[in-house]
Every structure is written in C-alpha cells, then in structure tokens.
Structure 1
C-alpha cells in the first residue's frame, strides 16, 4: 500500500478509479467536475442521471460510482464535498466522510489504484491546508485497516496544493 503525489490533470490518470469532486446534482459543473464530464463523455452523465433518478441528489459526504466513459480509468467515483462556511467540525467531518465513502466504494468494486483531486478546495472554499490534512489523515486511516487498495494517488492540479501535500506526506512515516 502506498500513497503517491502528482501534479497534473486527473482526467489523464490510468488508474482503476478517479474521484470526482462532484456537486449534489451529479450533472457536471465547473472545475474538476466539469473537466471529468467533458473528458469522459456522455456515458458518465447518462449514468449520473440514472443514479439521480433512483436516489435523488447526492448529499455532502456521499459517494456513487459510474463508468469512466472515454477516460483511461475504469470508474469515476463521484463524491460531494462540503462547502466551507464557518469551518465547523461538521464541515471537516463531512470532508473526511467524502474521502472514506469514496475509498469504501472503491474497495467494494475491487479497485486497486485510485486517484483523488483536492476535494472542496475550489468553489467550495475549503482552506487548502485544512483540506489536505483531512485528506491525508482519512486515506492513511483507511489504508491501515484495508489492504484491497494498493495505491492512492493525490493529483494536484495547482502547485500550491502540490506543495502542501508534499510537506504533509514528507512528515508522515510509513503506513
């Protein structure tokens, strides 16, 4: 089991699954969500519509899985991160839950490699440092108790996030 850090475009990742920082409608949007829907094509949106018709909107912390369409991954796991409002413990717990539910869904579908973007740090305004600390802690805790996933990749689009994750991961010992 290992954690890898890359700076780049998550839509180019050849992994079993990539995670989409989705909005609650599951119908695409801006940022990484829009990029994944554009690159993956209409098959992703079609499956998201079916999920939404079946269960309604996706609440913060929840995760669902679809095909990856034209992406080089097998699956897209769509999770909704919380909007940073006041920095409450509930907001932090919801972000952790988004990571944990994504990992549990990945393990359930025999995913060995999974790539995460920086969930909630764009238009949802989560402070990048706080979000990275939550992400690294959630992934580390999950990997200590589950050996199905062999590689978790944090894919940072921006250098600022990449630098934050570099520092956090260098302070962490082996799993």
Structure 2
C-alpha cells in the first residue's frame, strides 16, 4: 500500500474492489443517466442494492464533469458520489478540463457534506477510453491541489482494480508527490 502525507491529510493507493471500502464516500464513475452500467458503475449498483437505483432515478441524471451524492445503502461506504467522466475523443474536446472537474466537484461535494474520507476509481479510463497515464496525472495532481485548502476531507484513496493500474498510479504518485511511506 502506498501512502503519502500532505500535512494532516493522506493520499493512499489501494489495489482492490472499491465497493469493499469503509470510507465516508466512494466515487462512482457513472454514465450521465446515473442508472447503472458496466465496470465500476455496475459493481457499485450491484453492491449497494436496488435502493441506490431508486434514489438515482430522482436525481434526473448528471452532466459530464459534474457530481451528485446519494446514500451508500448496502455498501460499507456511507455515501456514493456519482460523477460522469469524459469520453476520450483524442484530447482536443476539453477532456482534461472535464476530467479535472470530476475530481474537483466530487471533492467539493464531499466538503459540502463534511465528509472526511473519499475513495476514487480511475475515472474515464475504462470503456470511456481516457489514456490511463494522463488520467492518473490529472487525478493525483487535482487531489493534491485540493487537500491543503479548507477541505473537510482528511483522506483520499485511489482504488485501482488491476495490479497494472496500481503500479501506474504508484509511479505517477511518486513523480508528483515524492517518496512513498509504507
């Protein structure tokens, strides 16, 4: 496990299943309908149970780059923050700004609800095709910029499902934030 301290804040890397984490909120890499799908989105909906889908129906979707919050229901996490990442179109359609907005808006929503811990998947890097290395740089740098401010969030966990993705984030985090702490 990789851990980096930013003052009294922590950034951790975790390889595994985001639906198993007992944090204040997990972030769902959702589609704009918020009604479930494949990948992380489908896994979160299955683990949370049908109540999550019912609450999501009341939210009437979510635009790309924005975020909305629900209860966690049957998840160990108290909340789910749903954000819609951009679909990769070659990099000239504002994808980087939209991806950065996913992280900023998710963290802002966590702050608005006084949440202390939040877990992020690798947003947009699955079927949305965002290049993983660039996405990791945006994710880690955006979180690192946000945490030292007046955020309620004390711990951010990047949850990577595969070992290859974990190693990529580990390398990127070391480049951007310095040496790890075991």
User: Could you tell me the TM-score, scaled by structure 1's length?
Assistant: 0.94
Equivalent residue of 1:27, what SS?
A: coil
Q: Which residue of 2 aligns with 1:155?
A: 159
In structure 1, stretches of 5+ residues that fail to align are none
Taking the TM superposition and a 5 Å limit, the aligned residue runs for 1:59-78 are 59-78=63-82
Taking the TM superposition and a 5 Å limit, the aligned residue runs for 1:8-87 are 8-52=16-60, 57-87=61-91
User: Could you tell me the TM-score, scaled by structure 2's length?
Assistant: 0.91
For 2:151 and 2:110, the matched residues in 1 are separated by 12
Matched, 1:165 2:169: yes
Residue 167 of structure 1, CA deviation: 0.6
For 2:90 and 2:136, the matched residues in 1 are separated by 18
Runs of 4+ in 1 over 6 A off after TM superposition: none
Matched, 1:126 2:134: no
Equivalent residue of 1:165, what SS?
A: helix
In structure 2, stretches of 5+ residues that fail to align are 1-8
Equivalent residue of 2:94, what SS?
A: helix
